[in-house]
Amino acid sequence: MTSIDYNELAERYIASWNEPDDEARSKLVRDLWAEDGTYNNRFFTVTGVQAMEFVTANAVQEYGSKGFVFRSQQDAYGHHGGVHFHWVMASAVTGEVDTWGEDFLVLNAAGKIASAHQFAMKRPSA
C-alpha cells in the first residue's frame, strides 16, 4: 500500500456524504470504495459500490435537505490498513453541531475502502 494522507482520505469520504450532485458523488464513491466494500452502522450493513451510492444519496437527501453537513474533525490516523477519524453533523448555516461520531475504515492493498464501521455517538435530532 502506498503512503496515505489519512486526513485527505477522511475529507474525501466525508465529501461523499455531502455531495448533492449525483455524478460527482458517484465518482467520489467509486474512487474511494472497493467493488465489494462493506459499510456497517448500528442499523444496517450494505455491500458494494452501488449500495454505497444509494446510502450516500439517501444521507444527502435526508440530512442535506434539513440543512446539515458532515465535517471531518481533521484527526484521522492509521496504520496497517486501518484508518480512524471523528466527524460531526452540523448546521450548514450556523455550524452548530447536532450529532457526532467516528468511523473506522479498513483499506485493501490498493488503498480503497474494504470495510467501514460507523459509530454515531448521538442520534440526530432532526
> Helix, strand, or coil here: 54?
helix
Cell of 121: 455517538
Please state, rounded to an integer, the average pLDDT across all residues of the chain: 95
pLDDT value, residue 116: 98
pLDDT value, residue 1: 53
Q: What is the pLDDT of residues 99-116, one digit of tens each?
A: 999 999 999 999 999 999
Closest CA to 48 of 30, 22, 28: 30
Alpha helix (H) ranges present in the chain? Answer: 6-18, 22-32, 49-59
Integer Cα distance of 24 and 116 in angstroms: 21
Could you say which of 3.10.450.50, 2.60.40.1180, 3.90.950.10, 3.30.230.10 is the CATH number of the domain covering 6-120?
A: 3.10.450.50
Tens-level pLDDT at each residue, the chain (126 residues):
568 999 999 999 999 999 999 999 999 999 999 999 999 999 999 999 999 999 999 999 999 999 999 999 999 999 999 999 999 999 999 999 999 999 999 999 999 999 999 998 877 776
Domain boundaries, the chain: 6-120
pLDDT value, residue 122: 73
Q: Is pTM beyond 0.85 here?
A: yes
pLDDT value, residue 2: 64
